[in-house]
Amino acid sequence: MTNGIPHRGIPFFVADDVRYNFSVYDVVRKGMPTSMRQGFDNEKYIELQAANIRKRIAQFGGKLYLEFGGKLFDDYHASRVLPGFQPDSKLRMLKELADQAEIVIVISAGDIEKNKVRGDLGITYDTDVIRLREAYMNSGLYVGSVVITQYAGQTAADLFKQRLERLGIKVYIHYLIPGYPANVPLIVSDEGYGKNDYIETTHPLVIVTAPGPGSGKMATCLSQLYHEHKRGVRAGYAKFETFPIWNIPLNHPVNLAYEAATADLNDINMIDPFHLEAYGETTVNYNRDVEIFPVLCATFERIYGESPYKSPTDMGVNMAGFCISDDEACREASRQEIIRRYYDSRRRFLLGACTENEVYKIEMLMNQTGITVHDRHVVDAALKRAEETGAPASALELPDGRIVTGKTSDLLGASAALLLNALKELAGIDHERKVISPEAIEPIQRLKVNYLGSKNPRLHTDEILIALSVSAATDPTAQEVLKQLPKLKGCQAHTSVMVSNVDSRMFKKLSIQATYEAKFEKNPVFAK
């Protein structure tokens, strides 16, 4: 245990193990970091993916229910591990199919009742349903309805249904089925799927998506197959999951990064045994799809008399593996993602938001990949600076490989100092040149302390950017510094302590991929 945080097998930091002697603007490496290289052909992906889905629609005679896992338009995990993949790539791909597609959004009644929250956005699933619907429709995609699944009389679900209907949204109810998914005879009957509302659809391609995992996407698709069959329509089912990527090696860092990302769900990548037996080919899937496949086959056989698929891999339509253009760039980006996930799990464990097992699993993945936290260059830089100053410090790797640091001062927190130092370095401005005068900062400090009740007078990242923006109105140098902000996108950063919510949100807004030591700056009990 280190600072109350479990750890096994990962070398941690000791005073004499720091590799570099950093000052604020030391150039410690030259050349573009591998993680900044493009490794994925996004345009090829959109073209291949759309074509493969059209092919699958045709395979089933013109009606396909496509279970869509992951995020449609804000897939930042994919963009981090496949550099070049745009977060809205899947949405852009679906826009190519807009004339054929409609979207059905599903949400579990249990998740509504529990007020389940999306960890990345901090909003409840029911709120996200409305957000997603609006976003899809604003993108030119047709959203036909919302389905409340696993319904068992929950009052919160009833209230949400009424809310949606007041907004003019069609809502359907799917019920909790006893013995799901194993009791196939009951499930595929009028007392099982037959009890569910039939979802009226008008397009050949029905995209079934949800705010998060466990919402009932697959059950919704299969329920529709049952109802369509009763109406004389032989509809098909397919599954769209970006990860794990089925046609790259099992232990490829891209696939291991997916395991790290889903450590809380305990997903495990594995060789698809059904595909290997049927075709003699090694492909990768994950445990939940492999485990459920025999039940799916039994369901298909009960509806149609036979299963259209011989393996979980057969069900998938993902073409991402064919679009990797620089394998090493994707490997390095994925290694960095695993380290980032590790730091996040240690932070959340300290806050009581995850279990020791989650931390241990990601440690195991790091060992499996052959990496340590020292493979993240900004880590040693931030910790060295903190050791030199005796206060929280931070480090950021610029797109060309230079590393800049930020220290805590009377005026600025470490994150704010880092941001300002990085922007000055990108603009070619001497470190000693003041682009924001202390006279401009001190009134903000007085406002925070004297009128807003803050005990910390130092400026956060948002406040330093506001001060810089004000200075830029009259100072051309400050204006030039401010113009460098877009160049921070995709940069790596690390801080020697956990930062405030304000600073972490600002890093995200600037698309800086930041990690934090699982350590409070002052108070060991309460996080601020």
What percentage of the chain carries pLDDT values higher than 90? 78
pLDDT value for 459 = 87
User: What confidence category does residue 528 fall into, taking pLDDT thresholds of 50, 70 and 90?
Assistant: very low
Q: Spell out the residues 6+ positions from residue 46 whose beta carbon is closer than 8 angstroms to its own.
A: 89, 92, 93, 96
Q: How does pLDDT run across 335-361, given as a tens digit for each residue?
A: 999 999 999 999 999 999 999 999 999
Q: Go through 170-186 and write b for each residue having 16 or more CB atoms within 10 A of its CB, e for each that does not.
A: ebbbbbebeebbeebee
Q: Is the pLDDT of residue 8 over 60?
A: no
CATH 3.40.140.40 residue ranges of the chain are 15-37+329-516
User: What confidence category does residue 5 fall into, taking pLDDT thresholds of 50, 70 and 90?
Assistant: low
Higher-pLDDT residue of 28 and 474 is: 474
Helix (H, G, I), strand (E, B) or coil at 179: coil
Q: Measured on CA atoms in the order 362, 363, 364, 367, is the torsion positive or negative?
A: positive
pLDDT value for 32 = 57
Q: Is the pLDDT of residue 6 over 60?
A: no
pLDDT value for 284 = 97
pLDDT value for 14 = 28
Q: Is the pLDDT of residue 37 over 90?
A: no
Q: How does pLDDT run across 177-196, given as a tens digit for each residue?
A: 999 888 999 999 999 999 99
pLDDT value for 432 = 84
pLDDT value for 85 = 96
pLDDT value for 33 = 61
- State which amino acid sits at residue 31: G
Q: Is the pLDDT of residue 129 over 60?
A: yes
Q: Is the pLDDT of residue 11 over 70?
A: no
Q: Do the beta carbons of residue 480 and residue 429 sit within 8 Å?
A: yes
Q: How does pLDDT run across 57-95, given as a tens digit for each residue?
A: 999 989 999 999 878 878 899 999 999 999 999 999 999
Q: How does pLDDT run across 230-252, given as a tens digit for each residue?
A: 999 999 999 999 999 999 999 99
Length of the chain: 528
pTM of the model as a whole: 0.89
Q: How does pLDDT run across 396-427, given as a tens digit for each residue?
A: 999 999 999 999 998 899 999 999 999 999 99
User: Would you list the DSSP string of 96-145?
Assistant: TTTTTEEEEEEEEHHHHHTT-B-TTT--BHHHHHHHHHHHHHHTT-EEEE
Spatial distance between the Cα atoms of 91 and 70, rounded to a whole number of angstroms: 12
Q: How does pLDDT run across 451-507, given as a tens digit for each residue?
A: 888 877 888 999 999 999 988 988 999 999 999 999 999 999 999 999 999 999 999
Q: Is the pLDDT of residue 25 over 70?
A: no
Higher-pLDDT residue of 271 and 457 is: 271
CATH 3.10.630.10 residue ranges of the chain are 42-323
Beta pairing, strands 492-495 & 393-397? antiparallel
Give the CATH superfamily of 15-37+329-516: Domain of unknown function (DUF1846), C-terminal subdomain (3.40.140.40)
Q: Is the pLDDT of residue 3 over 70?
A: no
Q: Is the pLDDT of residue 526 over 70?
A: no
- State which amino acid sits at residue 58: A
Spatial distance between the Cα atoms of 170 and 182, rounded to a whole number of angstroms: 30
Q: Which fold has domain 42-323?
A: dip2346 fold like (3.10.630)
Summary mean pLDDT of the chain: 90
